[in-house]
Structure 1
Amino acid sequence: MLQKTNRLTLVEQVVLQMEALIESGTWPVGMRIPPEPALMADLNVSRNTLREAIRALTHAGLLQTRQGDGTYVCSSSALGVMLHRRILRTNRLHTLEVRHALEREGAYLAAQRRTDDEAHRMLVLLDNCESALARGETDRYIAEDILLHQCIISASHNEILIELYEHIAETLESLITSLIRQEAGASVHSQMHRQLVEAIVRRDVDEAVEVVHRYIAESKAAILAEGSEIAALSGNLSDIESR
């Protein structure tokens, strides 16, 4: 049986309009949104309605109110905020498995769909990664590495995949950082990424997917090894305390 449609409240309409401005980039991250009088005039709503809408967007993680300064855009998407919060509550192994799924499909599609310009961009970013590694510039290496992954995902030309990866990229940074900072981690990471980029440039779909499998397996092994070391250390401390 069909149900009656529910009309949006005035607050919900304002929320949708402001959310659209944020997601479209009209109000970019870091921008202070217009003051209340201007928004009230533009939207033709009361102060209370506007404030309720701002509270809703603040709760969603899109806006942040700074006392005495104004309200700022702090995220470009409610989906991104939700994913960020969810990943923070998830263990690193589960996060790595999600990364595996996204990057495997991204590599698979990029090897089929990448343009010549995208292939060139990947090679440039790869060179930047290797240059930073050679100079011992770990922070720069990590930043270039994330850009490289985003470039590969972008070359998939799948808008939903691109958006999902873009939203979790910042959250993945801490995971990538911890893995790369381990002894020899960055070197192995870099070698496999050269293999990945070269496979995509050659349009070798099978090799591109296989490389993703290999570097994720290396990362998973590193996480499990670290967990074993922590467990062993905790056990030793417990033995000492019980004496």
Structure 2
Amino acid sequence: MPLVTAKRTGLVDQVIDQMRALVSSGEWPLGEKIPPEAELVTALGVGRNTVREAVRALSHTGLLEVRQGDGTFVRATSELSGAVRGLCGDELRQIHQVRRALEVESARLAATARTEQDLAELTALLDERATALRDRLADQAIAADAAFHLRLVDASHNPVLVALYQGIREAVVSSVATCFDPDLPAEEHISHRELLDAVRDRDPKRAAEEAGGFLEDLLAEG
């Protein structure tokens, strides 16, 4: 998605919109440095102050991160995700609370709305997670675990709920990674099989209880 010269009205807003689109599309990948200011000025056909204002605004929303002497980096793929990512570390408890609210309702809805395709893909992700745990492949296990939770939300077939959860995707991965113990034997990790069984059995109450149970444990530990 190439940058285009901005029009002469609402310059800052236009530049913000273009930068936001470049981030959300993946043209500017998460964690990577964006082009330097001089390059942006030339590509956009605006002044340095306009670029700086746009970067400052997106930094305040958590989308970008300015590192003095090093450049500006993509911090999150959406403003909502950026705001929640700011809770990582010292505020991990808040992330778990948000996850509990969204995942419990998603599990409840998935138990009645799920399709056979949903079940097949959820099962495949848990199998992938189990294999990674057995082989002590931490990164793959974390990725599969986060993908399972996201796919379970998809199985709710509620587009608003899915959009909200997508907005905290990076925060979910961060919270999974923070709680992951690579030295724990595979059989001692939470399997999520009971949660999947409840969704398969179309049991909303049990699905909600299973979805909230492990997060309640994490909150109790915190």
Normalising by the smaller structure, the TM-score range is 0.7 to 0.9
Q: Secondary structure at the match of 1:169?
A: helix
Q: Secondary structure at the match of 2:30?
A: coil
Cα deviation, 1:26-65, whole Å, max 9, x if unaligned, reads 4332555455555435433123322332233344443345
Contact 2:16 2:54 in 1 (8 A): yes
Cα deviation, 1:153-174, whole Å, max 9, x if unaligned, reads 2222333333244142133124
AA of the residue aligned to 1:201 = R
Taking a change above 3 Å as real, the CA distance of residues 77 and 217 of structure 1, as seen in their structure-2 partners, is closer
Paired with 2:98 and 2:71, the residues of 1 have a C-alpha distance of 37
Taking a change above 3 Å as real, the CA distance of residues 172 and 201 of structure 1, as seen in their structure-2 partners, is same
TM-score norm. by structure 1 comes to 0.68
AA of the residue aligned to 2:213 = R
Contact 1:129 1:145 in 2 (8 A): yes
Contact 2:134 2:186 in 1 (8 A): no
Contact 2:88 2:95 in 1 (8 A): yes
Residue 163 of structure 2 is aligned to residue 160 of structure 1: yes
Taking a change above 3 Å as real, the CA distance of residues 162 and 115 of structure 1, as seen in their structure-2 partners, is farther
TM-score norm. by structure 2 comes to 0.74
Taking a change above 3 Å as real, the CA distance of residues 65 and 210 of structure 1, as seen in their structure-2 partners, is closer
Structure 2 partner of 1:108: 108
Deviation at 1:127, TM superposition (A): 1.4
Residue 179 of structure 2 is aligned to residue 176 of structure 1: yes
Contact 2:81 2:168 in 1 (8 A): no
Paired with 2:52 and 2:80, the residues of 1 have a C-alpha distance of 22
Give 1:9-24 correspondences, 5 Å limit: 9-24=10-25
Structure 2 partner of 1:209: 208
Give 1:176-195 correspondences, 5 Å limit: 176-177=179-180, 187=188, 189-190=190-191, 193-195=192-194
Contact 1:153 1:162 in 2 (8 A): yes
Deviation at 1:123, TM superposition (A): 0.5
Contact 2:103 2:212 in 1 (8 A): no
Residue correspondences, number: 211
Taking a change above 3 Å as real, the CA distance of residues 218 and 42 of structure 1, as seen in their structure-2 partners, is closer
The structure in which a higher percent of residues are helix is: 1
Structure 2 partner of 1:43: 44
AA of the residue aligned to 1:56 = A
Give 1:117-128 correspondences, 5 Å limit: 117-128=117-128
Deviation at 1:120, TM superposition (A): 1.0
Q: Secondary structure at the match of 1:76?
A: coil
Paired with 2:14 and 2:105, the residues of 1 have a C-alpha distance of 37
Q: Secondary structure at the match of 1:90?
A: helix
Contact 2:145 2:176 in 1 (8 A): no
Larger Rg: 1
Question: Identity of paired residues, percent?
Answer: 37
Cα deviation, 1:141-199, whole Å, max 9, x if unaligned, reads 33322221122122223333332441421331244326x867x8962611xx1011122
Deviation at 1:84, TM superposition (A): 1.4
Deviation at 1:19, TM superposition (A): 1.8
Give 1:201-240 correspondences, 5 Å limit: 201-221=200-220, 223=221
RMSD: 3.4
Unaligned runs of 5+ in 1: 1-7, 225-243
Paired with 1:36 and 1:30, the residues of 2 have a C-alpha distance of 18
Paired with 1:46 and 1:209, the residues of 2 have a C-alpha distance of 53
Taking a change above 3 Å as real, the CA distance of residues 161 and 81 of structure 1, as seen in their structure-2 partners, is closer
RCO higher in 1 or 2 (8 Å CA, sep ≥ 6)?
2
AA of the residue aligned to 1:160 = A
Paired with 1:141 and 1:39, the residues of 2 have a C-alpha distance of 38
